Amino acid sequence: MHADHSDGDDHYSDEEYDFGPSKTSKKKAMQALQDLGKELAQLRQEQLDELPISDRLKDALIDYQKFPSHEAKRRQLQYIGKLMRDVDEEELQPYLDKFREGSTTQTALHHSAERWREQLLSGGNEALTEFVDEHPGGDVQHLRHLIRNTQKDIEQNKNRGAAKKLYRYIRDMLEENA
């Protein structure tokens, strides 16, 4: 026999009880914080200093970079995720966007300087004239000297740093004219 509950208390509506977020949604939110923490852990010290974060979180991010072990890094990421609960993600977003944009810009500059170095080494006076026309303001004689030294190093199969000096000079010229 079934007991008859006619007072209506056996029908509960969801509005009467707030169960809060589900366990799955809590895990997803925590994972998102850990992912953001991992991205922050890739930043350099100067970039971390710019962020509006606590000293504890900054120290935890720096410690993460020092850990060699995968397991230690995993545990540290969990700790970082816990500390990230107190961080306003929207406040961090402009900083992260700036760092990402800067990284993309630096990568593009690096690739452009590498291409110009190869062109200047293999293209002769035509490539030099084209570079100087596109990027005025540099010392053409110094650039010729760097190209000659780099070519000499390549011919003699030596590495005296001429290629690096040429690259740096080209990169500086590209930055000035950007």
86 plus 116 within the same structural domain? no
User: Does residue 6 form part of some domain?
Assistant: no
In a shared domain, residues 115 and 158: yes
Residue 74 lies in a domain: yes
Count of domains in the chain?
2
The reported pTM is: 0.49
Q: Could you identify the residue written with the tokens 């199969």?
A: 157
The CATH code of the domain that includes 147 is: 1.10.60.30
The answer to whether residue 122 sits within a structural domain is: yes
Same domain, 32 and 86: yes
Query: Can you give the pLDDT of all 178 residues of the chain as single tens digits?
Result: 555 555 555 555 556 666 778 889 888 877 877 788 888 888 888 888 888 889 999 999 999 989 988 999 999 988 998 898 888 888 888 888 888 777 777 888 888 999 999 999 998 889 999 998 888 888 899 999 999 999 999 899 888 888 999 999 998 888 887 6
Read off the pLDDT of residues 63-80 as tens digits, 9 standing for 90 and up. 998 998 899 999 998 899
Compute the half-sphere exposure of residue 152: CA atoms within 13 Å on the CB side of its CA.
Answer: 10
Looking at the fold, whether 83 and 118 belong to one and the same domain comes out as no
- Dist. CA 46–CA 169, nearest whole Å: 25
166 & 110 share domain: yes
Alpha carbon 157 to chain centroid, angstroms: 35
Is residue 98 included in any domain, yes or no? no
38 lies in some domain? yes
Cβ neighbours, 10 Å, residue 13? 6
Query: CA-CA distances (angstroms) from residue 58 to 8, 45, 103?
Result: 56, 9, 20
154 close to 121: Cβ distance less than 8 angstroms: yes
User: 27 with 87, same domain?
Assistant: yes
And the tokens for 178?
């950007």
User: Is residue 87 located within the same domain as residue 111?
Assistant: no
Is residue 84 domain-resident?
yes
Q: Which among 59, 91, 123 is the end of a domain?
A: 91
Q: Are residues 48 and 109 in the same domain?
A: no
Can you give the residue range of the structural domain that contains 145?
105-176
Rounded Cα distance between 32 and 101, Å, is 21
Please tell me whether residues 27 and 71 are part of one structural domain. yes
Separation between Cα atoms, residue 69 and residue 76, nearest integer Å: 11
Is 11 part of any domain? no
